[in-house]
Amino acid sequence: MDTKGYNWKFTSVGGAVRVKIDSGADIAHLGELDRKMWTVLSSPVKGLEFDEKTLALIDGNGDGTIRVDEVIATAQWLTGILKNPDLLLKGDDTIALSEFDTENEHGAKLLSSAKQILVNLGLEKDSISLEDTSDNVKIFANSIFNGDGVVTPASAEGDETLAALITTITEKIGKAVDRSGADGVTAENIEAFYTACADFDAWKEAAAADKDNIFPYGDNTAAALAACDALKDKIADYFMRCKLIAFDDSVTGAVDVSADKIVEISGENLSLKAEEIAKYPIARPTKNAVIPLKGGINPAWQGAFDTLKGLVFDVDFPDADSVTEEQWNAVLGKFGPYTAWMGEKKGAEVESLGDDEIKKILKEDRKADLLAIVEKDKALEEEALAIESVDKFMRLYKNFYRFLNNYVVLSDFYDPDQKAIFQAGRLYIDQRSTDLCIKVEDMGKHAGMADLSGMYILYCACSSKVKNATMNIAAVLTDGDVDGLRPGKNAVFYDRDGNDWSATVTSIVENPISLRQAFWSPYKKAGRWISEKINKAASEKAAKGEGTLSTITESATSKPADGVNTATKAAPFDIGKVAGITIAIAAVGGVLTAIVAVLKSLTWWQWIILIVGLMLVISLPSVFIAWRKLRKRDLGPMLNANGWAINAASFVGTKFGHTLTSLAKYPKLTAVDAQARKKARIKRFIWCLVCLIVLGCGFLYFTDRLACIGLPFHKEKVEAVEEAPEPAAAQDAVPVADTPAADAAPEGEPA
C-alpha cells in the first residue's frame, strides 16, 4: 500500500525513522499505512505484560498471534464508534455516554447496551467505566434470561417440577455456568439426560424379558459372579495340579504344598503369614481332581470359598461333598448371558436415581418444556452479546493506543517513562539492575537467534515459591563490567507486579558492553592467562615435589637387589645441542641489548608516547570491533526468537543502553570511624609519597641529574687518542757501542 492518500508524519525513534501516531485520525487511517513501515508485522498473545483479554480481543481468529490485518480491523471498528477518536490517546478507563457516535450502527447499539448495564447495576450516571463492564456476574445477577443458552432453576419461573429437574440434570449429567454466575444446564445437557434415562430403562426392560436366563442366581447373580471371579484362577490352578498327579504320581510332592515350607514359617506368627500361605494350592491336589466342599480348604482362602459355596455350590449342588472340573466349568458358563447383558449397559449416569424415578421422569416427559426455556434465553443472545461488546470496547478504549506504541512504532521501549509490553521486569545481579528482561518460551531457539543481536545476554531460570511457578528470562546487560558473571551465579528478579523470583544464570551470550570494557579487555585476558599459567605451574611444581619426595622415601626404605647397579647413567654430552643453545642465547642477548640501548636513548616524553602507543596498538583492535558491534546492537533478533515478526531495526545504542542498566552508586562517607579514617589517611599519604619518589627519581634520571652519583642517562662518548709516531731517525738509529770496529768506515771517507 502506498501512503500518499494520507498525510503521515514521521519521527526518529531509537535512531531510526518511524511513523508518528499522535491523533485519532492516524489510528483511523492505519489501513493506509504501507506495511513496510510497520515496526512489527506479528506478535504473540502470550508472555506479554499487557491485558490478556485485550490481546484476545485484537486476535480476531484466536490463533494466538496478532497480525497487521487484525490491528487494522480493530482500529477501524474502534474509531468508528467514537465521535472524537482523539480520546483513544488518553488511555482512560471511563467514557461519557455522549461520546458514542449514534450515527454508526455499532455505536448506537453500544450506547443502548451501556445504558442497560447501568440499569442492571442500579447506577444513575452519564458515563460508564471499565470496572462497570468487567463483571458479568454483577451485570446479569438479576437477569433470569441473558442470552447464553444456559437455564438455571430460577429460569423455571416458579415451576417447581422444572426447577427440580434442572437441579437433577446438573447433578447427574453436568453443569454449565450461567452469565449470572449460577449453575445451570444447556440444551445439550437436557438431551443427554433424557437419552440416558431412555437407554437405562430399555436396558432394564431387556433383562426383565429374559430374567431366568440372565439372572441364574436371581438377585444374587452379581454377587455370585464376583465370588467366582475371586477364585477362578486359584481353582484352575488346583485342577491343573490334579491333572499332573494323574499323569505322574511322582510329581505329587512337587505340586502339593511342601512340609518344608510350613516348617520354615512355623516358628513365626502364622496369622501374619496369610500372604505366604495364600500362595499354596486352594486344597490338597489328588488324582481324583475334585474340590472338597466339606473341609480341606487352604485357610488363607477359606472365607472366599465359603462365600462361593453359599452363593453357588449350595444352590447347584446342595448335597454334594465335592465338585468336579466339569461341574465348575458349567457354573462359569451360566454367567455368559449376564456378562453379555452387563456389557450392553447404557445410561449409567442416571442409574442412582432408581428404576421408579427414571420411569416417572420418562412418563412425565418435560423435555420439551426445558428446551423451550433454553430457546427463550437464546432469544436475548444478541442483546447480551451487545452488553459484552461494551466491555470489549472499554478494554480497547483504554489499552489500544498503548498497544500501537508497542506494535506500529515500538516507541514505549525508547520512552524512559514507559516500559514495553515485552519487558517482563527487573533483574538485580552483581551490583547492578537491568530493565531489559524478556520471558523466553524456547531456550534453545532463543539462544541460537539472540546472538545476532550483538548484546550481552544472561539467560536465567527463575522460580517463585509464592506463585508456585517457574519461567526463563533473557536479561540484557548494557553497562558495567562482566568479570564476576558466570553460569550458576544467583540473582533476584522482580516481575512487573513486584513479585520476587529466585534467579540463577544458566548460560551467557557474550558480546561487548562498552568501549571502556573493550579497551581493558586484552589486559584482563592477559592477566587471567598469566594467573592461570602461574597457578598451573605452581600445581605442577607441587605435584612434582610430592612425587620426588615419594620416590626418595621409597628409595630410602627399599633395598636394591643383589648385583643391580643403582647408579644413574649419565646422559651423553651433545655438543651440537649446546652450540645451538649458545647461539640462540647470543642472538636473544643481542636483540635485548639493542632494545635496551634504544630504550635508554629515549627522553621522558618519548617514554610516554611509547607507552601510549603500545596500549593503543593492543587495545584499538578490540575497541574497533566493540564499536562496530555496539553501533549495530539490535533488539530485533531477541524478539524474533520469541515469536515476533520484527519488520525494522530496533537499535540499542550506547547512550540508550545506559538507561536500561543501572549501576550501584555509593555516596561519599563522612561519618566513619575515626581510627579507620586515620588509617586511610596514612595509607593514602604513603602511596602518594611512593609515587612522588618514583616520579622524582625518574625525572632526575632522565634529565641526567643523577650523573654525579654514577647514574648517567646520557653517557659521554670517550674518543680514541692516537699516539704520535716516533721520528724515523730515532727508529733507524743503531747504537754506536754495538757497531764492531772492523766495520768502521775507512779513513778519509765519511762515516
d(CA 137, CA 179): 6
474 sits in which H/E element: strand 469-477
In 551-651, at which residue ranges do the beta strands (DSSP E only) sit?
A: 645-646
Can you give the three-state secondary structure of 412-449, one letter per residue? Answer: HHHCCCCCCCCCCEEEECCCEEECCEEEECCHHHHHHH
Can you give the three-state secondary structure of 622-671, one letter per residue? Answer: HHHHHHHHHHCCECHHHHHCCCCEECCCCECCHHHHHHHEEECCCCCCCC
Q: What are the pLDDT digits (tens) for 87-103?
A: 999 999 999 999 999 99
- For the beta carbon of residue 451, count every other beta carbon within 10 angstroms: 16
**pLDDT for res 191:** 94
How much is the mean pLDDT over the chain? 82
In terms of pLDDT, which residue wins out, 725 or 491?
A: 491
d(CA 246, CA 225): 30
What average pLDDT score do residues 157-161 get? 89
What average pLDDT score do residues 550-576 get? 56
d(CA 459, CA 478): 15
**pLDDT for res 265:** 79
C-alpha cell at 595: 632494545
**pLDDT for res 664:** 85
Can you give the three-state secondary structure of 525-546, one letter per residue? Answer: HHHHHHHHHHHHHHHHHHHHHH
Residue 148, burial from CB neighbour count under 10 angstroms (0-12, 13-18, 19+): buried
What average pLDDT score do residues 669-686 get? 74
**pLDDT for res 675:** 76
**pLDDT for res 730:** 44
What average pLDDT score do residues 416-422 get? 91
d(CA 355, CA 200): 9
Q: DSSP class of residue 268? A: S
| Banded pLDDT at 537 (limits 50, 70, 90) | confident
Closest by Cα among 128, 83, 122, 136 to 385: 136
**pLDDT for res 668:** 67
Question: 413-437 burial string, b = 16+ CB within 10 Å, else e?
Answer: bbeeeebbbbbbbbbbbbebbbbbb
700 sits in which H/E element: helix 674-702
Pairing type for strands 500-509 and 490-495 reads antiparallel
Q: DSSP class of residue 61? A: T
**pLDDT for res 514:** 65
Question: Contact, 55 vs 66, CB < 8 A?
Answer: yes
d(CA 383, CA 113): 7
Give the 3-state secondary structure of residue 152: coil
Residue 687, burial from CB neighbour count under 10 angstroms (0-12, 13-18, 19+): exposed
Beta bridge partners of 439: 473
**Which residue type, as a one-letter code, is found at position 437?**
C
What average pLDDT score do residues 530-546 get? 73
**pLDDT for res 591:** 65
Helix and strand numbers (H, E) in the chain are 29, 19
Question: 556-572 burial string, b = 16+ CB within 10 Å, else e?
Answer: eeeeeeeeeeeeeeeee
Q: How far is CA 596 from the centre of its chain?
A: 59
Q: How far is CA 595 from the centre of its chain?
A: 57
**pLDDT for res 83:** 94
d(CA 94, CA 97): 10
What average pLDDT score do residues 110-139 get? 89
pLDDT exceeds cutoff 70 at 273: yes
For the chain, the residue count is 751
**pLDDT for res 578:** 60
Q: How far is CA 350 from the centre of its chain?
A: 46
Question: Contact, 370 vs 260, CB < 8 A?
Answer: no
Q: Choose the weakest-confidence range: 17-21, 126-130, 267-271, 465-469.
A: 267-271
**pLDDT for res 511:** 81
Query: Cα dist. 409→37, 54, 66, 89, 152 in Å?
Result: 9, 19, 15, 14, 49
Q: What are the pLDDT digits (tens) for 359-381?
A: 999 999 999 999 999 998 888 88
Give the HSE-up count for residue 328: Cα atoms under 13 Å, Cβ half-sphere: 23
d(CA 522, CA 138): 67
pLDDT exceeds cutoff 60 at 107: yes
C-alpha cell at 589: 642477548
Q: Look-up: residue for cell 634520571?
A: 701
| Banded pLDDT at 269 (limits 50, 70, 90) | confident
Q: What are the sequence ranges of the domains in the chain?
A: 9-142+380-414, 153-210+350-378, 217-334, 674-706
Give the HSE-up count for residue 412: Cα atoms under 13 Å, Cβ half-sphere: 17
**pLDDT for res 10:** 92
The alpha helices in 348-423, defined as continuous H runs, are: 355-364, 367-378, 381-405, 411-414
